[in-house]
Amino acid sequence: MTRSPSRKKTSAATSSKPKSALKPAKEEQDNPGSVTVEVAAVEVPELTEDEQRDRLHLERKVEQAFVEAGKALMELRDRRLYRSTHKTFEEYCRDRFGYSRDAAYLKISATTVYENIQKYLPTIGRQIPLPTSERQVRSLAKAELEPPQQAHVWEQAVEEAGNKIPSGRIVQSVVDRIREGTKVPNPYREGEICVLLPKDNPELRGKSGCWGVITHVGDYSCTVQTWDEDYTVKIEHLKSLELLDDDCKFMQQLCLRLRRLHQVADHDVSVDWLLQGLGKQAKPYLSALQARLLAAMEREYGLDGKKKQ
């Protein structure tokens, strides 16, 4: 029996000499119509065996009681144990658990509320039951009360429920009364110019640094008009530019001009570049070039009041 000569295998992974992106590979030489473009990959550190084991352990906790779930999610986020499969914590939660961004962070917040209640509840004289589900403390997680206030609200809700674990509706009613009794006047006024602060508000994602005009003032929120949309946000998501009245009027007029341009159907992509730039320039003036560019685009789409020749 004749043995065929052995062929020496080559592996790109074992070669220490990097390929040139300009030198065609053998397949490209055989097939001139094909082109291979090599892109350098960014190295992401793989999870260690300990981290892999911890990830699995924490994932199981997420599917259990709400306190353990919140703690597990917090650790998965803080240690970035999702990094081997996902770029962001939000994507990981959606794919692995079916949670939206809000749902994941609400579970984390609910765990913090539980721990605050446990820490600050009075323990002398009687035993007060602790929350058993995320739904019961959801309104506390959203209310942004101080930890001792959270415990006080829970104590009152337990009393209203006949010293039993209260429903989320009862807790919400106590939260509403507490906030109404400690109402802080909204510091903003209509026509004021503010910058948006996204913080933990998913609706403001990508809007960091955008400025807008306040068009409505509520008890705890404001409606803000920006170059592309109206947003109703809590007062903690706003920062006033503290402009003089004349400067506010300039920004109000500028906002209207930008919105009119944005609303032009089928406008050129260069319009969006200008709008996004001016929409984040929180200053009560335009440079000479910016003014000319904006005026030129308004003329192009007939927004300057003059008929195109």
Q: What is the pLDDT of residues 81-100, one digit of tens each?
A: 999 999 899 999 999 999 88
Q: At which of 40, 74, 99 does a domain end?
A: 99
Q: Can you give the residue range of the structural domain that contains 150?
A: 107-181
What are the two backbone dihedrals, phi and then psi, of residue 288, each rounded to the nearest 5 degrees?
Answer: -60, -40
Considering the domain boundaries, does residue 14 fall inside one?
A: no
Question: Does 76 have pLDDT greater than 70?
Answer: yes
Nearest to 286 by CA among 274, 278, 297: 278
pLDDT at 103: 86
Question: Average pLDDT of 113-122?
Answer: 88
**Angle at CA of residue 193, ends 191 and 196, nearest 5°:** 130
Average pLDDT, integer, range 173-186 = 77
Q: Indicate if 130 and 61 belong to the same structural domain.
A: no
How far apart are the C-alpha atoms of 293 and 241, rounded to whole Å? 25
**What is d(CA 4, CA 182) in angstroms, rounded to the nearest whole number?**
89
Is residue 121, in this structure, part of any structural domain at all?
Answer: yes
User: Would 211 be classed as within a structural domain?
Assistant: yes
Residue 8 lies in a domain: no
Bigger pLDDT: 203 vs 130: 130
| 294 close to 286: Cβ distance less than 8 angstroms | yes
Domain identity same for 195 and 288? yes
Given 147, 181, 215, the domain boundary residue is 181
Indicate whether 39 belongs to any domain: no
Q: Is residue 18 part of a domain?
A: no
Residue 15, pLDDT > 70, answer: no
pLDDT at residue 290 tops 60:
yes
Please check whether residues 261 and 297 belong to one and the same domain.
yes
Mean pLDDT of the chain: 82
241 found inside a domain? yes
What is the per-residue burial (b if ≥16 Cβ within 10 Å, else e) of 116-151? bbeebbeeeeeebeebeebebbbbbbebebeeebbb
- Tokens 């003036």 found at: 285
Query: What is the Cα 216 distance to its own chain's centre?
Result: 24
Decide which of 141, 159, 181 is a domain's last residue: 181
What one-character DSSP code corresponds to residue 63? Answer: T
CA dist 135 and 147 (Å) reads 18
The domain total for the chain is: 3
CATH of the domain at 282: 2.30.30
What's the pLDDT score for residue 252?
96
pLDDT of residue 37: 55
Residue 33 located in a structural domain: no
